[in-house]
Structure 1
Amino acid sequence: MRPQKVLDNDIYSALTKVFRAKGFEGASLNEIADATGLKKASLYHRFPEGKKQMAEAVFNYIDEWVEIKIFGALINNTLTPDQRLNQSINNIKELYNDGEESCIFRTLSMKVGLELFGSRIKNGMEQWIHHFMELGLAFGQSKEEAKSNAVQNLIDIQGSLIVSEGLKDLSIFENTLRIIKNRYSKE
């Protein structure tokens, strides 16, 4: 068997960039092929179900990263709650490249994407809320307060990405992360 010329992580990273920039409907196979460095035939060899399977691979790629880097930090009982908060905020900054990258939930939740991936998007958002709620509980918040803050964190992160992009002002994303920290931290 011949060695792969393009590694899976490179493909997933390239697919992520295309889907973040174009969404499911807007991403053409030509753009995907150009970004990955693969010919269309090679893309279909790796992803026989086409663009839907490529988008699912992007979800898996991001989900795995988020599970390890963000959720793992939020629930890491070997760290103090402040350390968990700081580590997760730093990893959120990395995930969204300090606010320059769109969220995959947003870009894949247009009409067709939502029809195809709606339950996956809902589950992903529920996971963000659950893990932030665990952090709130670690800070001694009541269950109701922890859930309310967790939902607000998701709204704030998603909203700040859209507003930062629309106004071309990354400080909005940065300020939002500071607001999230202030919900928990007594620093």
Structure 2
Amino acid sequence: MARPPSIGEAQLLDLLMPVFREKGFEGALIGDLSAASGLQRASLYHRFPAGKEGIAEAVLTAVGERFLWILEPLRTESDVSQGMDETARRLSDFYGAGALSCVLDTMTLAGAPEKVREHARSLAVTWIEAMAEAAQRAGRGPDDARRVAKDVFLRIEGALVLARVLGDTEPFTAAVALLPTLLAPQRD
């Protein structure tokens, strides 16, 4: 009989994600992933036969599931404003109030396989589409909603970079706080 895994899949991916967040795909060595997970290299290869690329894909799948939860209020909350506020709160939690790098960004740095880059790209598109849908439900036209959703995405991602460079999370906190205001049309 096969021995049960010493660590569950979700917990394992939560331990592996920070390595990719901090080092990107190319910089994340199997030794780093082994140390972060507490598993021997052989155990990692047993669980992820495709090696580092398989681990990266699994981490991005977990990030995608988390993003679905983060974005869910934008898509389902009957009060669009409340949905925007809740999504902003969840985004802040996911990014450690701006202290954590964006795994979508770090996974697409030089050296990442195209499959990994495409997976990260699809998650970014999902995020932008969810914000555009919310902006439309709040009263913006389709083109304006897509434009403003991209702008919000750029502000949040740029704020993560600025927070990391300056060692100050305030730019991220400010960008996330603006999410509801920027997505909803201005009322006169």
| Shorter-chain TM band | over 0.9
User: Is 2:48 the partner of 1:52?
Assistant: no
Q: C-alpha displacement at 1:118, in angstroms?
A: 2.6
Percent identity, please: 28
Secondary structure of the corresponding residue to residue 112 of structure 1: coil
Equivalent in the alignment of 1:162: 161
Equivalent in the alignment of 1:16: 17
User: Is 2:105 the partner of 1:113?
Assistant: no
Bigger shift: residues 5-14 or 110-119 = 110-119
Alignment of 1:1-187 (within 5 A): 1-67=2-68, 69-77=69-77, 79-113=78-112, 115-184=114-183
**In the comparison of the two structures, how many residue pairs are matched?**
185
**Per-residue Cα deviation, 1:87-141 (whole angstroms, up to 9, x for no partner):** 1101101111111111111101112216342322222221111110110011111
Counterparts of 1:26 and 1:18, CA distance in 2: 9
Counterparts of 2:183 and 2:49, CA distance in 1: 46
Q: Counterpart of 2:26 in structure 1: which amino acid?
A: E
Contact 1:6/1:37 (8 A) holds in 2: no
TM value normalised by structure 1: 0.93
**Per-residue Cα deviation, 1:134-187 (whole angstroms, up to 9, x for no partner):** 100111111121111100011111110000000001011000112222214579
Over the aligned positions, Cα root-mean-square deviation in angstroms equals 1.6
Aligned CA distance change for structure 1 residues 114 and 52 (closer, same or farther; 3 Å): closer
Contact 2:132/2:146 (8 A) holds in 1: yes
Q: Which runs of 5 or more residues in structure 1 are unaligned?
A: none
Secondary structure of the corresponding residue to residue 50 of structure 2: coil
Aligned CA distance change for structure 1 residues 162 and 177 (closer, same or farther; 3 Å): same
Counterparts of 1:75 and 1:116, CA distance in 2: 27
Q: Counterpart of 1:160 in structure 2: which amino acid?
A: A
Q: Counterpart of 2:48 in structure 1: which amino acid?
A: F
**4+ residue runs over 3 A deviation:** 184-187
**Per-residue Cα deviation, 1:39-61 (whole angstroms, up to 9, x for no partner):** 01100100111000000000000
Q: Counterpart of 1:94 in structure 2: which amino acid?
A: D
Counterparts of 1:59 and 1:161, CA distance in 2: 18
Counterparts of 2:65 and 2:172, CA distance in 1: 23
Counterparts of 1:16 and 1:156, CA distance in 2: 23
